[in-house]
Amino acid sequence: MIERRMIIQDTPLEKLRENLKRLICIKFKNLYVLFDPETVSWIPISDDDIAMLREFYWGGYLREKKGFHLIGRMISSLIGVSYRIIYNKLLPYPSVYYLEITKGCNLRCVYCYIGSAPELLSYKGKMKVENWLELINQINTLGGREVIFTGGEPLLKYDDILSIGKYAKEHGLITSLITNGVLLNSKRVEELSRIIDNITVSLDSHIGSVNAVTRGYRETHRIIYYIKSLLEKGVNIYVNCVVTRSNVNSLTSFLDHLQKIGVTPDKIKFILMAPAGRALTLDHFSVNPMDLVKESFLYNLRMGVIPNHSRTAFNKFSRKYMCGASVSELYIDCDGNVYPCRMLVTKSGHLGNVLKNSLKDILDSSNRYNFVDSISKPNLKVCKDCIYRNVCAGGCRGNVIGSQGNLTDPDPINCIIVKNTFPLYMIVESYGLEVLRNLNDRNVFRQVEVVSSWLEEDLDLKKV
């Protein structure tokens, strides 16, 4: 009987052997995943599959049945033919717009990245309600999807929020609000629920004394009461928690408390202090990023949720070219100044002013195009050889400016998180939560091995 073998000449498979070299093997105990850094995709793979691919890579043939099945999976889910991205110089207009309604704030959080404080309450800003409404028209014309009211504390200008929010809602935009929650009351809950789709409450703990250390506010029971009231009104509620040494040990009880009132883990965002504003003097107050990752990971695992520390980063075939500043989001302050994002409110990041030029003219200007070129992945020299460069595209440029001052350096916080969590995430996403079901080990991340030399014939992966 003549043995049938796969013929790869003059087919897309002829490129497979060459493309195998770029794949990375992720190993956890006796489980394997092949990761393609170029397409940001991965598939689970067995010992037999690895042996078959090694034989093929070193000049052998792929037998029918298993060979066809394996290559079919790889073509549909992984590499197949060479992958290429063409960067479109015609930048899209942002879909999300942060509107800084006021610089003033009723609290003085110790780590505030923009330095908001009660001392700024008297600052009125140059943008009047009619200016904001005209901006809403422009955002709508340019295809904007969402406006996010922020500050300072936007509820300090409550009547303005009602007018602008109602107008944005009537024009089909998603309306969101970021607040510390202190100024909420029953009447406002009722009114906001009719015009605001999403409300993010900034709260560091359900324990008053813990929250007071960083935010200076103890009556957290009031905020939690109104969070529950908003949920009952059908508002999507998110909670931002800045993690510091003061609350890192009570995060689990905080999560449990929020769960009881209806805030699910996927709506809770843990944030490390951004290296900007008042936080620049608080190095002694910061926590190691991995301490946060471990707490969050194990909690999500206990709740039956696949741990994904960065909700938007770890997605198959989501190949990032840049952080998104001025492309997916834009920040407009209360004086009409336009910046790439809320973390890059700097002189070098200034793109224009909507009181002087139309939003379209600002977005079409060379200022924006030059800025995007400066932070795009090819210009991040340190990241060019990293296997996760297409997962995070160098991270947050705002974090970089705050900590190092060089816009083209990698994000020091994001680097630690992605390199330690993404390999394990691929394992769990591929094999299910069962592989970690009985695990309660904070050193689990060290048990994952990243093997770039997996094609070497004499390498025994079981001993790696």
Paired sense of beta strands 268-272 and 329-332, if any: unpaired
Mean pLDDT of 223-239: 97
Does residue 79 register a pLDDT over 60?
no
Helical residues (DSSP H) of 171-317, grouped into ranges: 186-195, 208-215, 220-232, 251-260, 289-302
b/e 343-373 (16+ beta carbons within 10 angstroms → b): bbbeeebebbebeebebeebbeeebbeebbe
Kindly list the distances between the CA atom of residue 32 and the CA atoms of 20, 48, 58, in Å, as whole numbers in the listed order: 15, 11, 21
State pLDDT tens for residues 256-289: 999 999 998 889 888 888 877 788 788 788 888 8
- Place 84 in a pLDDT band, splitting at 50, 70 and 90: very low
Contacting residues for 408 by C-beta, under 8 A, at least 6 apart: 374, 375, 379, 380, 381, 382
State pLDDT tens for residues 171-227: 999 999 999 999 999 999 999 999 999 999 999 999 999 999 999 999 999 999 999
User: ∠ at Cα 184 (180, 186), nearest 5°?
Assistant: 155
Q: 22 vs 168, which has greater pLDDT?
A: 168
pLDDT of residue 80: 41
**Cβ atoms of 442 and 294 closer than 8 Å:** yes
Helical residues (DSSP H) of 92-219, grouped into ranges: 129-141, 158-170, 186-195, 208-215
Strand partners, 25: 34, 451
CA distance 40 to 277: 34
Task: Please provide residue 403's backbone torsions phi and psi, each rounded to the nearest 5 degrees.
Answer: -95, -30
State pLDDT tens for residues 113-163: 887 877 788 888 999 999 999 999 999 999 999 999 999 999 999 999 999
Q: For the chain, give the mean pLDDT.
A: 84
Token pair of 194 as six digits:
């009719």
pLDDT of residue 6: 39
Q: 108 vs 122, which has greater pLDDT?
A: 108
**Cβ atoms of 245 and 286 closer than 8 Å:** yes
C-alpha torsion 250→251→255→258, nearest 10: 60
Mean pLDDT of 74-82: 53
Does residue 450 register a pLDDT over 70?
yes
Does residue 374 register a pLDDT over 50?
yes
CA distance 404 to 438: 40
The one-character DSSP state at 83 is -
CA distance 294 to 228: 28
